[in-house]
Structures are given as structure tokens and as C-alpha cells.
Amino acid sequence: MRLFLKFIGYLFGISVVLGLIAAAGLWIYLNDITKDLPDYTALKDYEPPVMTRVHAADGHLMYEFARERRLFIPIQAIPDRVKQAFLSAEDKNFYEHIGIDPWGIGRAVITNVRNSGSGRRLVGASTITQQVAKNFLLTGEQKYERKIKEALLALRIEQAFTKEEILELYLNEIYLGVGAYGVGAASLILFDKSVHELELEEIAYLAAVPKGPSNYHPYRYRDRAIERRNWVIDRMVENGYVTVQEGIEAKAKPLDVKLRPTGNLVKGSEYFSEAVRRQLAGQYGEEKLYEDGLSVRTSLDPEMQLKARKALRDGLVDFDHKRGKWRGPISTIEITSSDWGAALAKVQTLNDVPEWTSAVVLSVSNQKAVVGLRPKRMANRKLSTERVRADLSLSDMKWARVNGRAPRNVQEVLSPGDVIYVQRQASGKYVLQQVPEVSGAIVAMDPNTGRVVALVGGFSYAESQFNRATQAWRQPGSVFKPFVYAAALDNGYTPSSVVLDAPVEIEQGPGQAPWKPQNYGGKFYGPSTLRTGIELSRNVMTVRLAQDMGMDLVAEYARSFGIDDNMMPVLSMSLGAGETTVMRMTAAYSMMANGGRRVQPTLIDRIQNRYGETIYQNDQLVCTDCSEEYWNNQGEPELIDTREQVLDPMTAYQITSMMEGVVKRGTATSVKAVGRPVAGKTGTTNDERDAWFVGFTPELTVGVFVGYDTPRKMGRGATGGQVAAPIFTAFMKDALKDAPPLEFRVPNGLRLVSINRRTGLRAGAGAPGTILESFKPGTSPPDSYSVIGFQDEIGIRQDLSPEAGRAVMSGTGGLY
């Protein structure tokens, strides 16, 4: 017995020694591990990457910029049922444990021992706190060492943070599939709802996903996802969070996922959104844009944007049909198989032209082609099994010229297997379409603020991301002329001043031939008023006027209006030979429309940071008394307009009135169809390479440009009045159809005097050819004929009678 007791004592002693050695080893091991543990206190200052959200002026979400699609929601704003679902699925003892679950760890160890050598993935029993430690501070490698670090960090996190703070970190960081991080983003992306609007079955699905986002994909593994969702519902019932009946009803419902599309969420806003992204990235940097959760309110009017896109596209397609040719199919596919739908769906086509769809030609005859329309995709992203056919008639494709002539039969245009675009008409029939080779841009702006309400930078953003409204520097042609005339009106000239429209030679220096500017059409018209020069876009008159004033003054006006910051002071620039953008030119015209106040074209109204603090406000008005918290019988606060006056308000009205004449009787009479007061100017560059129209009403300024991306001739007659003005007209009629017409406001002090429109001399009211012309104080119609430029021909300035003026351009020896 004594020997037995000694043996037991011996074993006990050895066990104690071994235990002490093991404890010392464990202490050394843990001490070594803890040296490399991340600093968990950094979680106190943690700001998760949050997506920047861009909204239209009416509040509609336009775009989300993010590397990780996440919306941060404070724990106080997360519904209790959402918390309960995740606790039931992931850690039902969350509020009781100290960061680790010993019983769960024991079960995981036993399971992993059993599975050792089988190649199966290690299982864990991580608590929510451990998952926070792993997601924020550790890697996801499946090793016991990482699990030990995770447990140690969890214990420390529990000591430093409250349970609510830990849960807040978890629910905003967890990955929930389909690119969504956190419950806020996941509820929007998966169900198109805010987290407060979710139903029980939807909440349960979110809580089911963290176990394996790819394993419970709502489309690819639908049955598995529903099974896991129902398991979560059962756990919620078991834990007393929902009633048995609620659980039964929730499990009976389908998994109704409505995946929110990525990209532009406001139709037609692609070019606008990209311009906003560029501005934000330039102003704040890429990291802040994609991770700082900015809330951006833009100036975009979604309805006007769609109308602008439609007007531009219709105009470009119309030009292509009238002047283009058939350039062939998008692609060709084999149609020997009975099911052509799958092959057609693989052909990459434009996804931002909703009026068009792709189709494959199945058969052709002399008078028609039978085409199969692209199959639609169902909610689960699979192709519909329905196959729809349509007929295309020869009469609707006469525009598709081949070898310079209209096709005589369909076979000259289409062949079986061709993939083409078709458009459904209001009548139900389909017609052939093709992407125009010519391109263009349109910008619509509030002239009083510079807020851009619509911007389209091309026919299709999917085809070309190049923004022709903001990035294309093109010659403006005659749309620049109003600024030459504005400079003249600001410096002593009047709308009735007369300039000689006759041949002129401009010396360009030694060894260079003189420049001989020409009018469009090659004719000269003799002495004409400034108004006539604008209305009929006389080139030679404009050159003479610029020569009389000096090009340094004209270049200064171009800089002041933001058209060209470094214009060369040479006379050709007076005809728009420099380069500018549609955005700049539209802003410049806005300054004329608003009475001469400077405006900066802006896309963004306001920017807030993730905390709701306003960090940018687009407001050019100062209000020193608007910050008063209480009303103590003080008067209304006054708004102080700090914008620079770049043009005399009287001059602004005079040039506006002259540009009204462009619409009434000049080069843009088609714009009269808008049916309200409109002022504007056409522009066409040499060889019809660029066509412009920029115009405005008192409440809206619109600039339109049409041209090939690589400048080349568009064809004789492709002028601003014929190509760009119809686009302007279509947009303005649609955009302002519900708004009452407004007259341009006449500034105080201007006098309206009856003059002869052709001679500029005072005339009796009601006489033929009489108009009311505006004159500044101290100016009036001339009593005799004084012709600017006539002195260049005879060496001195002379006063001529009207009869003498007519004689200047008459006879075989006239000044031509």
C-alpha cells in the first residue's frame, strides 16, 4: 500500500512538473503571439470605406461610387429585428459571453480532429466579436494560430468596447454577397429597400448569407439559400424573437430578390455622372471619392436630361439618314441552329439606347426581311425561351444607301445572319437603324445660376465615353460673333451702326498671301447695320468691325466670358477660328441672357460628408443675416449678389434683341417653332466641319454642337441652322411645353426707337421695314449714313446719303 501511495505521489509530482512546464510553455507561446497582435484600440477611430452617392436635383439616386458598396448605419438606427436575426444565426449568446464561446470552441476542435486528413475545410465557432477581430485586424487564413490570435483579440475587444459598439462594427462590415458590405447596402442592393422596410423573410436571408455568400446566392443556389433562410427563421422562433405563426408565414414566402442595377440609375445620365465623378476626383482625390461616403446633390433635372438625349439622338439619326450610307451589320452569326437566341444574346450591343434592340436577319426577299429579336433576360439573369420575329420592309430602309443610291431590294442591304439594330415604331412595326457616324453634344443651363440641368456628350456612352460637351475643343464659328458685337456695343457702337459688307484684304505679314474673308455663299451686300450683320451672320462685316475696334479688345471679351483663356488677337478669331467647348459657350451665352452677370457652369449643388456636414455649397449669393436662430421682429434678410458684372445690362439686352432677330428673320428661322421669345445664333465652320446653335429664353440656355469626332466635311448645307438648330428647337419645345412664355426684360434707361431695319436711320412708326431698336442713354439713330469700313476703300470716313450708300455697291465699278 505504501509503495502504491509513493507511486501515486510520484505520478502526481511528475504531473505537476509537466503541468508547470506546459503552463510555462503556453505562457511563453501566448506571450510571443501577443507581441504581434494588431492594435485593437484602432477600432475606436475606425471609419469603414463607404460609397459616395450622387443624387439628381429631385433627390433620385443617380450613381454610387465605391470600391466596397457600403452604407454606414449607426447601431441605434438598425432595427431590433435585424440585430436579432444575425444574433440567432451567428451568435445567440452574444450578450452573455466574454468574447469567446468555450463550448462552441470545444465542439469545433472535436469536429476538426475527426476531419483531419480528410481535406475538409476547418470549421469554427467564432463569436461575433471574434469575427470583428478577424475582419478588421487579421487575415482569413484557416490556421489554429490565427484562431488563437482571434480569441485573444476578442477578449481584449470585449474589455474595450460595449456590446452595441461591437455589433455596430460587425453589421456594417460583414460581406453579404453581390458586392454588398453591411446590412445598409445589402438591403438596397438585394431588395431595393432601406433596412427599415425589410420583411422578416428578407431579414432572415441577409442573416443567412455570412456563413457563405457564394454558397447562398439568390439565383445560382436558390434552393440552398431558401433552406438556410428558413433555418435562420427557425432559430429566431426558437429564441423567442418572432412567434411560431410569423415564422410559418415567413418560410412560406418565396425568395423575392430584386437586384439593384449598378451604374447609372437615372436614365440617360451617363455623361453627366462621369463629369461629376471627374470633378469630385479632381477636387477631393480618388480615395475620398470611393471611400469617404460623400453625399452629392447635383443640378441634373432627370426629365430634361431624357428630353435632351432624345432631341440629340433624333437629330443625329436624322442627319445620318439624310446624308449617311449603310455601313453594314454590327456582326454576323450562324443561324443554322433552330435556336438563334443564345448566339444573338452573346453579341455585344449598346445597352444605353433603350429604344433600339438588336436582331438577327433570318431570311430576306426583294421587299422584306424577317428578323429575330434579341431575347429578354429574366430576373434570374437567364435568357427567356420566347423567340419573337418581326418584318422589316424595303420602304423603311430607303435611307440605307449603297454605292450612293437607295437600295432597289432588301438583299442589297441585309443578308441572313446579319446582326442589326431595329426600332419599334408607335404603329408596332420595326424599322432598320444604325449608329450615326456623326456625333454631337447638348448642354442645358439655368442662365441665372449656371446650374447645368441637362448634359449629353454623345449618341451613346456605351459606344464612346468621350464627352463632347466638356472635353471636345471645337471651332465655334459664327456663334462667337455676338461677343464681337457685344464688345462694339460696349464701346460706342449702336445696333444701327452701319458696317460695309464688301471685299477686304488683310495683310498677314511678309511672304504670306493676304487673307480675303468671305461670306457664306460668296456674296457681298454693301453697307448693313450691326443688327443685320448678326441676323444674317455676315463674316466680312464682322472682320471689319473687329478691325475697327482692335482684336485685343475682342480677345479680352473672349477671356472675360470664359470662351477662350488665351485667344490670339488675330482677325480670323473674330469669326470663331479659335477653339472652345459646348459647356463654355453655353455659359458665355448665359451671361448675356441674365443681364451680364458672370456665372460658372456647375454640375454640383451641394456636397456633404459621411456625418451630414456640408463641405461644399454652390451659392453665389451672400446672406449675412440668414444664420439668425430667432426672429426678433427684424426685417427679411437681404441676399447680396457677389457675381461680377462682365457686361453692361443694356448691352446684354441689345445683343439679346439682335439675336432674337436671328430667329425671327435670320439664319435660324426654324427656331420660331419653339413658340416663345428666343434669342440665339447659328455657327458653321469652314467646309461645314462643325455645326452649332446656342440660344436662350429668359429661363434656359441651350448649346448644341454637331460634328465628326475627327473633323471633316459634313456636306454642303450642313450648317448650324440646318443641323444644330432643329435639335435645339425639338428640345426647347419639349422642355418648356408646360411653362408660360416669358419676355426678355428691358433694363431701365434703354429707349426703344423706330428705325429702318436696313439703313439704321430713324423712321416713322409703322413705315415699311421699320423695327423698334434699343438705344442707351446718350445714343440715338444717326441722321446721316456713316459707314464703318468705307474709309478703308477711299482713305477717309465720309457721311453718305442713303442713295449714296446704295450706290457704293452698285454698277460695274462698285467696291466688291
How many whole angstroms separate alpha carbon 635 and alpha carbon 129? Answer: 58
The span from the CA of 590 to the CA of 58, in Å, is 23
Catalytic-residue membership of 165: no
CB 580 within 8 A of CB 470: no
- Tell me which residue of 805, 816, 808 sits closest to 759, measured CA to CA: 805
**Distance between alpha carbon 650 and the CA centroid of its chain, in Å?**
36
Q: Is 386 helix (H, G, I), strand (E, B) or coil?
A: coil
Residue length, the chain? 816
Catalytic residue chosen out of the listed positions 64, 88, 90, 187 = 90
Cα 388 to chain centroid distance, Å, stands at 34
Report the b/e string of 426-458 with b at 16+ CB within 10 A: eeeebbbbbbbebbbbbbbbbbbbbbbbbbbbb
CB-CB contact of 528 with 658 (8 Å) = no
How far is the first Cα of the chain from the last one, in angstroms, to the nearest whole number? 142
Selected catalytic residue, list 478, 528, 590, 657: 478
- CA 656/CA 747 separation, integer angstroms: 12
CA distance 170 to 165: 9
Beta strands at 389-393 and 751-756: parallel, antiparallel or unpaired? unpaired
How far is the C-alpha of 683 from the C-alpha of 38, rounded, in Å? 66
Ranges assigned E (strand) in 394-549: 418-424, 430-433, 439-445, 452-456, 498-501, 526-529
Nearest to 590 by CA among 800, 447, 391: 447
Contacts of 678 (CB under 8 A, 6+ apart): 660, 663, 671, 672, 695, 696, 697, 732
CA distance 577 to 685: 8
Torsion of CA 491, 495, 496, 501, to 10 degrees: 90
Q: 123: which residues sit within 8 A by CB, 6+ positions away?
A: 108, 111, 112, 115
CA angle, residues 408, 413, 419, in degrees to nearest 5: 155
Cβ atoms 216, 209 nearer than 8 A: yes
C-alpha grid cell, residue 226: 431558401
90 among known catalytic residues = yes
Active site residues: 90, 478
